Amino acid sequence: MENLEQELKTETQVSVPTEEKMNWGRFVLDIIETLALAGILFLGINAVSARVRVDGFSMIPTLEDGEFVLVSKVNYRFGDVERGDIIVFHFPLDPQQELIKRVIGLPGDTISVQNGMVSVNGQTLSEPYIAAAPAYSGNWTVPDDQLFVLGDNRNDSSDSHSWGFLPFEKVVGKAVVIYWPPPLWEVIRHAKIPATP
């Protein structure tokens, strides 16, 4: 009888550590699997989108300083940039900076700003989305593989009227959603600018 009790105690003592090892092993494996899945999701999301904070007032009233915007990196892989699109791009004069502006002119377009009105290929634009009419003037013809971009706050925006054309290769993607702060959450509306060259 004593031998049987002794054997049961020994078996119990041996099985508890083995069971603990199995639980710890499973726990560590679960953590590794979770981290791997999180890494794959992070890389996948970053491959198709970017998140950008609006710094400054150049896109008022469409976008406010401090808002966070979700940017689609895939739109222009499957489609073309259109006049009126709001895009994020690497600033040509300082590629470390990302700016957000509205596309006004495509390659071959002639842009004219005169008397507070913007014209594309001779057609004066109706722009209900701007803060105020531009207080500057000029004429530009957009070269191949370049874009002409302007901020919606025309008189407080560093854009193509001041630093020139935007090479298409600098485009990060199309702004699609304001996601922060939550009360201002909304899908970004892109204007249609019909102006054929």
Helix (H) or strand (E) holding 175: strand 171-180
Cβ atoms 164, 158 nearer than 8 A? no
The position carrying tokens 């979700």 is 70
| Enzyme catalytic residues | 58, 101
DSSP output for 114-174: ETTEEEETTEEPP-TT-SS--S--EEEEPPTTEEEEE-SSGGG--SHHHH-PEEGGGEEEE
